[in-house]
Amino acid sequence: MIVYLNSQGSNLPLPAAPAAPAAGAEGAAPETAALVGDAAAGEKAFAKCKACHTIDAGGANGVGPNLAGIYGEAVATGRGGFAFSDALKAKGGTWDDATLDAWLAKPSAFAAGTKMSYAGSSNPQERANLIAYMKTK
């Protein structure tokens, strides 16, 4: 509309271009950042994770690594010598809210070639709850 009016002699400014996404925002699910996780609900949601993971301090690795104390640690390190995929090792970074959220949303998109068979959770609140629970362990 503005372009048309300007072609007819008006001198209206064009609207500003939309802002670019913040650096490092790709892969993160921004709707989860604003959610408050419920650790008790996260513990219930973690029940399906127990098929492959333990989360108690000193627990053994299973099909997947023990996740006790994972929050704040470097991605794909430690965990009692667990054999992480090369894809996950190549990711780098730290297991923080944004990284865990992206991972839980769709592990195969986060690290193509990962060994993790879990398809991911499309529910932002469930992911926030799981992250809140992992922070307590």
Rounded to 10 degrees, the C-alpha dihedral 130/135/136/137 comes to: 90
pLDDT given for residue 10 in this prediction: 63
- Model confidence at 134, pLDDT cuts 50, 70, 90, reads very high
- Model confidence at 20, pLDDT cuts 50, 70, 90, reads very low
Q: How many CB atoms lie within 10 A of CB 1?
A: 6
Q: Using one digit for the tens of pLDDT, what is the confidence trace for 91-108?
A: 999 999 999 999 999 999
Q: Using one digit for the tens of pLDDT, what is the confidence trace for 33-75?
A: 568 999 999 999 999 999 999 999 999 999 999 999 999 999 9
Is the pLDDT at 116 greater than 60? The verdict is yes
Instruction: Give CA–CA dist 36/14, Å, rounded.
Output: 39
Residue type at position 6: N
Whether pTM > 0.85 for this model: the answer is no
Residue, of 14 and 42, whose pLDDT is higher: 42
> Does the domain at residues 36-136 carry the CATH identifier 1.10.760.10?
yes
Is the pLDDT at 21 greater than 90? The verdict is no
Q: How many CB atoms lie within 10 A of CB 100?
A: 22
Specify the DSSP class assigned to residue 23. Answer: T
pLDDT given for residue 78 in this prediction: 85
CB 68 within 8 A of CB 56: yes
Strand partners, 74: 94
Strand partners, 94: 74
